[in-house]
Amino acid sequence: MPVFDQGYQHWKGTLSGHAGRWLAIARQGIKAQLRNRRTKYLVIAAWTPALILAGFLALWGLFEQKADVLKPFMDVIKTILPLEIFEGPRTFRSSLWTLAFDAFLWIETGLALILVLLVGPDLISQDLRYNAIPLYLSRPLLRFQYFLGKLGVIVGFLSMVTVVPAFIAYVVGITFSLDWSVVQDTWRVLVGSVVYGLVVAISCGLIMLAFSSLSRNSRAVAMLWVALWLISGVIAGALVDSTRNRFDDPATAGKESERWWALSFGANLNRIREAALNTPEAYRQVVSAFQSAAAQAAEMAQGQMAGRNRGPFGLPFGPRNRPPATPPPPAHPMEPPQMFASRINPPFPWTWSAGILGGLSLLSVLVLSNRIKSLDRLR
């Protein structure tokens, strides 16, 4: 194709500095992806859990104040919550906020992985397919700025569904609490949510960009992402089930076999979230309150049954007329239930997950630096 000389053309726009060049790539990439209906609908759907989180925090703030709006429902709430939480809700404020944000971020993580699947495959593979990288690098643009702009597209979308809604829900919770001490009790929840959101955005963004640079076929890139996400979880689950039967002691078997979840990409993200929010301590406090209430209810039921075993004049019933006794309480009533055992006692330390995600991110950077060369090295 011939290039015709058009002469000098004066630039009438505003000039920007070198530091903001990557923003042009990120801004145009986000605009282009928002034209996709599936991406737009997924972002809108991802805000539904945020609305639920904000509603829960608002209701909890009203419950702490014993607001008149909730007075018709206080009897129902009293039957659901343990007496310890019902009478002292501010004591459990930090724990319940932590569990609420943990559930919210757990849902958003799954939606974020799907969002990366929609947004990420075309970011570099399309440039390779249409040979657009020489056009990028022929301008005053460094490879680092090119990578940062492409990463900014993924970070921007993931921030829309994790960091931004978490911050808005936190502000709503503070507004309805009408007590500035809530900031002192819950600021770690906001910091942990932001840190976790950035970890998910940066690690998932670097890995997806590395996959996108490996092939010009966007479908192959999408299959690599699905393999990392789903197949790693399937392999980890199979190893957990296969090693659980090798130990005679169930406690030892569960502790040793659960460590294989470190091979799952999603499990490592969940472990980072638990460490950032300190969810084990929150689960321990809330589960302990529910177990104490259950133990008191069992004691009261046992005392009532013992009173029923008395006949006229306080004499005990004979063995033939004695009602069936209630089953004895468990030997260790304060042990956590099986469904919360892994939440309170994680199967492996969070440093393992940090090392694995950091290693994958570093490997992704090496792949990107090898696949995308400078203009003078292009052939």
Segment 215-222 shows an average pLDDT of 91
Residue 314, sorted as left (phi over 0), alpha (psi -120 to 50) or beta, turns out to be left
For the chain, percent helix, then strand, then coil, each to nearest 5?
Answer: 80, 0, 20
Spatial distance between the Cα atoms of 138 and 376, rounded to a whole number of angstroms = 10
Token couple for 218: 């966007």
**203 near 357, Cβ under 8 Å?**
yes
Whether 313 has a pLDDT exceeding 50, the answer reads no
Q: What is the pLDDT of residues 177-197, one digit of tens each?
A: 877 888 998 999 999 999 999
**182 near 267, Cβ under 8 Å?**
no
Among 20-29, 148-157, 304-313, 369-378, the range of highest mean pLDDT:
148-157
Segment 308-318 shows an average pLDDT of 52
Residue 111's SS3 state is: helix
Residue 316's SS3 state is: strand
Q: How much is the pLDDT for 264?
A: 92
Whether 80 has a pLDDT exceeding 80, the answer reads yes
Whether 323 has a pLDDT exceeding 70, the answer reads no
The domain segmentation of the chain, as residue ranges, is: 20-307+328-377
Share of the chain above pLDDT 70, in %: 81
Segment 294-316 shows an average pLDDT of 64
What is the average pLDDT score of the chain?
83
Between 292 and 314, the more confident residue is 292
Q: What is the pLDDT of residues 101-146, one digit of tens each?
A: 999 999 999 999 999 999 999 999 998 888 888 877 777 778 888 9
Q: How much is the pLDDT for 102?
A: 95
Residue type, 143: R
Between 250 and 133, the more confident residue is 133
Q: How much is the pLDDT for 68?
A: 85
Spatial distance between the Cα atoms of 240 and 234, rounded to a whole number of angstroms = 10
Nearest CA-CA partner of 273 in 160, 157, 351, 193:
193
Which letter does DSSP use for residue 311 in this model? -
Compute the half-sphere exposure of residue 50: CA atoms within 13 Å on the CB side of its CA.
Answer: 23
Q: How much is the pLDDT for 305?
A: 63
Lowest-pLDDT range of 178-187, 285-294, 306-315, 323-332: 323-332
Nearest CA-CA partner of 350 in 175, 198, 199, 168:
199
- DSSP secondary structure string for all residues of 130-165: TT-HHHHHTSS--HHHHHHHHHHHHHHHHHHHTHHH
CA distances from 283 to 55, 84, 171, 288 (A): 21, 15, 23, 8
Q: Angle at Cα 267 formed by Cα 225 and Cα 245, nearest 5°? A: 115
